[in-house]
Amino acid sequence: MLSSRTIEIIKSTVPVLERHGTSITKRFYQTMFAAHPELLNLFNHANQSQGRQQTALANVVYAAALHIDKLESILPVVKQIAHKHRSLGVTADQYPIVGKYLLGAIKDVLGDAATDDILQAWAEAYGIIANVFIQVEEGMYAQAEKQDGGWAGFRAFRVARKTAESDVVTSFYLVPADGGAVAAFEPGQYISVRLDIPGEANTHIRQYSLSDAPGRPYYRISVKREDALPGKPAGIVSSYLHAQVEEGDVLHLSAPAGEFVLDLADKRPLALISGGVGLTPMVSMLKAAAEAQPDREIAFIHAARRGDAHALRQEAEQVAAGSPRVSTHWCYSRPSASDRETGAFHKEGYVDLSWLKQVVPTTDASFYFCGPTPFMKTVYAALRSWGIAEERIRFEFFGPSGSLREAETTESIRA
């Protein structure tokens, strides 16, 4: 337990962390990777280069300082991060390394303001926080390995089928290379794919949502090819999967992980809202809910640029065709001439609250959503302005977690 003096010192640093948190985490990653380049194998380099990982860590450090006297209040965040750590293969012996360079970064950025008392208090606090992560992750590792069909670390899977779902999304059907069973998962969870790409100095690991329902003899991931944009290079891993990985090839996967899962004990009407490739966990949830809860009202809402960028549409429509309680609703921001001719979409432009009220005719529903961060910020804002209770709103970021709450006044939802 931390002393009252240590807690007092940690809380006194909250305003400093609010101002300088990202500078500290940038310095932390810089110095840690210089001393331990092997840890680069655990991180998404794109998130590093775009600053998303640094911002996410700064938010966690800030939250830990703010709630240092009641760390149980940030346990949901701990569990979410621990799932990612388990899927990446983070080990207990790496936590002292992180602590050393995090404290060094605090000293480097704050200079003389980082007194011996402050550094000692943070060293004690980090030890407590690290131990919480280690204990939670130990339980997750044990559960992943001991469940039926489970395994530790990464397991070889063969690509049984590769299917183009749109002009930018391709699905990979993955079966165990050893011929064994696949571990169960909850709709909404993800797996990590570990790749050694020719010409790349480091191993790359990426998380991809499982896009089919549980209970199949395979895992399916549906991967968007991240093409180059001004100021943003093409995605190394997604480009490699699309262009180089073929049926019969072997990929190495972690066991399924993730806290963003469908609550099948909930009987309220269900709204599944997605933008772009954020529909992948939503399709898994849709199919699982329709199979397990045939009497549940489900509205599946998806925003895409146009029809040829709309993946897995036929699957969702097939589910709706098989159940009078499932409805699908499409919004295209830039529909093609063909989309207009065929009436392929229900709304042109962007999703707005008035349309959400039309397709989800009750506020007594549970809402799940996923997609690009701007999309999620405005979905969240729309739901909160509609009066939807916080406990009935569930969402997940693809990549490091961010904040949605600063956008509560935004009116439109952009895919």
Catalytic site positions: 95, 137
Q: Is 166 annotated as a binding residue?
A: no
Pairwise CA distance, residues 367 & 390, whole Å: 10
Check whether 279 is labelled as a binding-site residue.
yes
- 147 annotated to bind ligand: no
For the chain, what is the total number of helices (H) and then of strands (E)? 13, 14
Contact of 13 with 136, CB cutoff 8 Å: no
How many CA atoms within 13 Å lie on the side-chain side of 154? 20
- Is residue 199 annotated as involved in ligand binding? no
169 annotated among ligand-binding-site residues: no
- Is 209 annotated to bind ligand? yes
The torsion of the CA quartet 328, 329, 335, 336, rounded to 10 degrees, works out to: 30
Q: Is there a binding annotation on residue 367?
A: no
20 is in an annotated binding site: no
CA 287 to mean position of chain CA atoms: 20
Residue 190 among known ligand-binding residues: yes
Distance (Å, whole) CA 356 – CA 363: 10
Residue 85 assigned as binding residue: yes
Q: What is the side-by-side order of every strand in the sheet holding 298-304?
A: 347-348, 326-332, 298-304, 270-275, 366-370, 393-396
The answer to the question of whether 332 is labelled as a binding residue is no
Q: Is 397 annotated as a binding residue?
A: yes
DSSP reduced 3-state for 330: strand
Residue 173 marked as a ligand binder: no
- Please give the Cα distance from 165 to 143 (Å, whole number): 33
Q: Which residues contact 17 (CB under 8 A, 6 or more apart)?
A: 24, 58, 61, 62, 65
- Positions at the binding site: 85, 190, 206-209, 276-281, 397-400
- Positions at the binding site for NADP(+): 276-281
- Positions at the binding site for FAD: 190, 206-209, 397-400
- Positions at the binding site for heme b: 85
